[in-house]
Amino acid sequence: MLTVQNLGATNSIFNQFIAEIRSIKDQGDSMRFRRNMERMGEIFAYEISKTLRYKKEEISTPFGVTSIPLIQRQPVIATILRAGLPLHQGFLNYFDKAENAFVSAYRKHHRDRSFEIQLDYISCPEITNKTLIITDPMIATGQSMCIVYEALLENGKPKHTHIVTSIISSQGLEYLQKHLPPLKCTLWVGAVDDGLTAQSYIVPGLGDAGDLAFGNKAQD
């Protein structure tokens, strides 16, 4: 069952970062784009941290002992290369003891403008009964996320999965609701956009997150 948390629906500094990654005026600064994605990852990580299980542990200070609730078990943080790296880094800034998973996936386009999702590489620890967090800055059709999630499930059945994206299309959201495996899953988004182009890019969206973060790639 998929539940949705939209951080952009509430007024906060988070929306400043959404505005800047969307803005043509700011997108020319790739370092700022990466940093804003990282900041968003940090905010998502903080919110998700509230859903985890905690256990009080005694901490010795120079003047005594105090009891502090700490996370019982660190999550596994997964991302889709290359565009997901800045968002992923934001999570690592907060969950700095977490295990990591990486998936190389891309759209293989055909001359008729259709495409299929190709997986080139996956590196993932055992995820059985763990909290899995999958980060991807943009979810357009939802096909890539479903394929990546199913590939990760070959390494075990997580206790709970959190899918995190800055922007998702309404079509992508509907696709995830219909096609994700029937496991406990929460979708965290910064915005939901209504449009998709003929090439399946989100409108108004922000463009190509990977190119904006790391430079234009050679075209096929």
pLDDT in tens, 12-52: 999 999 999 999 999 989 999 999 999 999 999 999 999 99
- How far apart CA 161 and CA 66 sit, in angstroms, is 32
- Which structure tokens are listed for 126? 């055992």
Report the CATH fold assignment for 2-49+73-214. Rossmann fold (3.40.50)
Closest among 105, 102, 131, 130 to 119, alpha carbons compared = 105
- How far apart CA 130 and CA 91 sit, in angstroms, is 16
Question: What pLDDT is attached to residue 110?
Answer: 47
What pLDDT, in 10s, does the model give residues 130-164?
999 999 999 999 999 999 999 999 999 999 999 99
Give the type of residue at 93: N
Q: Could you tell me the end-to-end alpha-carbon distance of the chain, in angstroms, rounded to an integer?
A: 38
- How far apart CA 123 and CA 80 sit, in angstroms, is 11
- Which structure tokens are listed for 178? 């219909």
- How far apart CA 202 and CA 168 sit, in angstroms, is 8
- Which structure tokens are listed for 77? 């943080």
Question: What pLDDT is attached to residue 198?
Answer: 80
For the chain, percent helix, then strand, then coil, each to nearest 5?
35, 35, 30
Mean confidence (pLDDT) of the chain: 92
Q: Is the pLDDT of residue 216 over 90?
A: no
Q: Is the pLDDT of residue 171 over 60?
A: yes
Element (H, E) at 182: none
Closest among 60, 54, 56 to 74, alpha carbons compared = 54
- How far apart CA 195 and CA 32 sit, in angstroms, is 26
Share of the chain above pLDDT 90, in %: 80
pTM above threshold 0.85? yes
Strand partners, 193: 169
Polymer length of the chain? 220
- How far apart CA 42 and CA 169 sit, in angstroms, is 22
Three-class DSSP category at 56: strand
| Domain extent listing, the chain | 2-49+73-214
